[in-house]
Amino acid sequence: MIYNIYYVMDIKTIKDGIILEEMKIINEYVEKISAEIQEMTTTAESLYEKVDIMKDKVNNFKLSTKQIVGIASQTNMLSLNASIEAARAGEAGKGFAVVATEVKKLSDMSSKVAESTVKDQNEMLKMIVDIYKVADVVNQKSESLKGAIDKISAIVQKANQS
């Protein structure tokens, strides 16, 4: 009978030791996961900062492109005026008419490049919005995981105190 009592006590002591060891392991994993979540949060914040910088650069680039469009438009007007003046000059203006035609071609090319650039800029801005959305999801998931880990940590601490 006494042997049975010692046997049961030994088993309980062994089980308590195993449970304590398992709680330590769980606590280590909780700490590792918490560190990973913190790193995810930091990475998401860094992503926000870099995307903000990229957005500013794209907007600055967009302003430059608008200026290029304006220059192309003015160049087009100058080539049109030059063509009119060349026509008025008759035979003497033929050489100038060739220059006016080439200036017109350059103006048209500048306009096309600027239009293409504006299209690309708009696509980049849409991508930036998408990146913000992804970063928001990462942040939300990190917060959710952090909440779950905090609950698990509280349970482990409570179990360790028992």
Count CA within 13 A, CB hemisphere, residue 9.
6
Return the pLDDT at 109: 93
Domains annotated on the chain, with CATH:
40-161 (1.10.287.950)
Count CA within 13 A, CB hemisphere, residue 28.
6
- Note whether 96 and 89 are within 8 A (CB): yes
Over 90: is that where the pLDDT of 157 sits? no
Each residue's pLDDT tens digit, 10-30: 666 666 666 778 888 888 888
> How many angstroms from the chain centroid is the CA of residue 142?
16
- Note whether 31 and 156 are within 8 A (CB): no
Each residue's pLDDT tens digit, 101-133: 999 999 999 999 999 999 999 999 999 999 989
Residue 9 or residue 79, greater confidence: 79
The whole-model pTM stands at: 0.65
